[in-house]
Structure 1
Amino acid sequence: MTTIEQISATPARGRSSRRSVERSQGRIGLVFVGLYTLFLLVFGVFPSIYAIYLAFSKRGAFVGFDNFIKVFKDYRFLPAVEHVGIYLVVWLVSLVILVVLLALVVHSIGAKWLSTSMRFVYYIPGALAGASSVVVWLFVLDPTVSPVSFLLRAIGLNSLVQAVQADSLPFVLAMIAFWTGAGGWIVVMYGALNNISREVLEAARVDGAGPIRTAWSIQIPLMRKWIAYMVVLSFASGTQLFVEPRVLSQASRGVVSQDYSLNQLAFLYAFKQSDFNGSAAISLVLLVVALALSVFFVFRGGLFERA
């Protein structure tokens, strides 16, 4: 083969190699997408369709909105809605403010080892499952064994029962949720801050903007999509409140009611009253509300807008 032929053959081999790599990557991608789609259908779409069928039927017959009307008239329904609503407001507001603030603080630290250590410390509580984190907080909130018992007694709490009263419970649940979930979101926000162009930040400093002004006018607006993403996922998980109040109910011997949240009420309908239709109606209400508000946050946060 002549030199000219070798030169002309080299790009052809390169293109063929790239196409081969792309095909291989495409096949691997299809495997992952296929597995995800399978699990989504089996554990997500099909159960949702079956729940819709149960919510609008009774003993196999279509009954319209009768199951929903029965659930709405239940004396336990509106208090459960109120409990979840207050918890979500406290949880989401504290999450957005504190996570963004802590991410900005960690990002501003010049020493890399200290920044890395703080992110690791924040992330540690996320390794605990929901029930495990509640057990930890049972010790923290019980003045008889708590390492911060002096603080609890200083604010007038002398027993676990006092700490989990109905008026303070949304804040207790929000603390538990923040402790277990905030660390991962701080890492996400830290990554979002790293994606902000250094030239933009330098231009702000040249214009005389201090750290607070830079954070408020540049960094936080550029993190809007990630904040919206955090709110959507946190809202979806918050509406499913179940494990924390259920464990607290058992630990407090009924001070926290077994129908405190909508998920608990749906559980009682299904497994205490054998009313799967009413349980499906509650689940469907949760699904519709979560989807509607998630769509609102997605569009308000510009989650799918191109930069």
Structure 2
Amino acid sequence: MTLLGTERVAVPALRRSTELRRRRRSAAGYLFVAGYTLLLLAFGVFPTGYSFYLALTNDRGQFTGLNQFVKVAQDYRFLPAFGHMLVYLALWLVTLVVLVVLVAVVLRSRVSSGMSALLRFLYYLPGALAGVASVLVWLFMLDPDVSPVSWLLESMGMHTFAAVLSPGNLPLILMLIAFWTGAGGWMVVMYGALNNIPDEVLEAARMDGAGPWRTAWHIQIPMIRQWIVYMTILAFATGTQLFVEPQLLQTASLGRVSPTWSPNQLAYVYAFQQGDFNGAAAISVCLLVVGLLAAGLLVARSNLFTLDEK
């Protein structure tokens, strides 16, 4: 067989082998995402679609348009519940972003590797507790009769548990609980993002005379901006689902905290106390729309999914 004939036989065989490898890789990829896709459809897409169906119909399944949304919006508890949630979100997101990024930068730049690993482990420990357990710990901490920091509470004029759980204090208390349980995990994530910054970039900044804080502000933080936006989006979504913490505080305070303090609590009252699942679905859809609008705004303004040019 001539050399030309050998090439004519080898090229199609090589193409078939390449195509076979490509198909195998594609099949493996589909297999890896199949489980997640099924769970997403079962516990994400289908419940969301059913919520829209309930929100647009009445208890007899008749289409009513936006009547359910008008009904819940006219409820005197609706605007206060969303107002409480927005105040809590403002405190929670500002505190989370500022302190998490600050601590991560300090651990990366100013603390030895061994001590940094120990501190990251300690910061992460509260996140291992379930939400209910975290609230119970904070109930103990917030009761002046048994709290180890009762002197601090009393110095602030809060001599009783009822005074601590006054309506004006609730956003701050819930923010502290959320930060205590959730910030440690994000510190680990931000620390990992900072580790992806090449040492050559930081060394060049030092050679140009930039100190630690100028390096952090002008180089490190801008280079992990997309991670910060990602954290903000997920934290916002988590914050809109506020339910366990105010519900337990309401129970522990013997009714001093409103049972409809957050939108999720109001939806719970609609569904399981009033038997109005359509109204509860309308509140849930409102929360979904708020979350999607906030996420879309952050993604659009931050170019979160823009690929870096090589």
The normalised TM-score by structure 2 is 0.91
- Return structure 1 stretches of 4+ with deviation > 4 angstroms: 22-28
**Whole-angstrom distance in 2 between the partners of 1:268 and 1:293:** 26
Matched residue, 1:236: 237
Q: How big is the shift at 1:155? A: 1.2
Unaligned residue ranges in structure 2 (runs of 5+): 1-9
C-alpha deviations, 1:200-232, integer Å up to 9, x for none? 111111111111111111111111100000000
The one-letter amino acid paired with 2:118 is S
Q: How big is the shift at 1:112? A: 1.5
Checking the alignment, whether the CA contact within 8 Å between 1:227 and 1:301 is kept in structure 2 is no
**Whole-angstrom distance in 2 between the partners of 1:49 and 1:228:** 27
Q: Which moved more, 1:107-116 or 1:236-245?
A: 107-116
Matched residue, 1:204: 205
SS of residue in 2 equivalent to 1:62: coil
C-alpha deviations, 1:207-264, integer Å up to 9, x for none? 1111111111111111110000000000001000000000000001111111000000
Q: How big is the shift at 1:169? A: 0.5
The one-letter amino acid paired with 2:253 is S
Checking the alignment, whether the CA contact within 8 Å between 1:124 and 1:183 is kept in structure 2 is yes
The one-letter amino acid paired with 2:52 is I
- 2:165 maps to 1:161: no
Matched residue, 2:57: 57
Q: How big is the shift at 1:16? A: 6.8
The normalised TM-score by structure 1 is 0.91
**Whole-angstrom distance in 1 between the partners of 2:250 and 2:217:** 41
- 2:13 maps to 1:39: no
Matches within 5 A, 1:14-163: 26-58=26-58, 59-163=60-164
C-alpha deviations, 1:78-108, integer Å up to 9, x for none? 1001100000000000000000001011112
The one-letter amino acid paired with 2:78 is F
Checking the alignment, whether the CA contact within 8 Å between 1:232 and 1:297 is kept in structure 2 is yes
- 2:272 maps to 1:271: yes
- The alignment-based identity, stated in percent, is 58
**Whole-angstrom distance in 2 between the partners of 1:300 and 1:119:** 31
C-alpha deviations, 1:262-303, integer Å up to 9, x for none? 000001101101111100100001101101110111222221
Q: How big is the shift at 1:29? A: 3.4
**Whole-angstrom distance in 1 between the partners of 2:92 and 2:111:** 30
**Whole-angstrom distance in 2 between the partners of 1:79 and 1:32:** 44
Matched residue, 1:288: 289
The one-letter amino acid paired with 1:296 is L
C-alpha deviations, 1:38-66, integer Å up to 9, x for none? 01111111111111111011111111111
Unaligned residue ranges in structure 1 (runs of 5+): 1-8
C-alpha deviations, 1:159-218, integer Å up to 9, x for none? 221111111110100000000000000000001100111111111111111111111111
The one-letter amino acid paired with 1:128 is L
**Whole-angstrom distance in 2 between the partners of 1:152 and 1:286:** 34
When the two structures are aligned, how many residues end up with a matched partner? Answer: 295
C-alpha deviations, 1:7-44, integer Å up to 9, x for none? xx9xx99x979x76x76665443233111110111111
> What's the C-alpha RMSD, in Å, of the aligned pairs?
2.0
**Whole-angstrom distance in 1 between the partners of 2:100 and 2:182:** 10
Matches within 5 A, 1:237-252: 237-252=238-253
Checking the alignment, whether the CA contact within 8 Å between 1:224 and 1:302 is kept in structure 2 is no
Matched residue, 1:3: none
The one-letter amino acid paired with 1:146 is S
Q: Which moved more, 1:157-166 or 1:219-228?
A: 157-166
**Whole-angstrom distance in 2 between the partners of 1:29 and 1:184:** 28
Checking the alignment, whether the CA contact within 8 Å between 1:55 and 1:68 is kept in structure 2 is yes
**Whole-angstrom distance in 2 between the partners of 1:156 and 1:164:** 12
SS of residue in 1 equivalent to 2:194: helix
| Distance of aligned partners of 1:113 and 1:46 in 2 relative to their CA distance in 1, 3 Å threshold | same
Q: How big is the shift at 1:151? A: 1.3
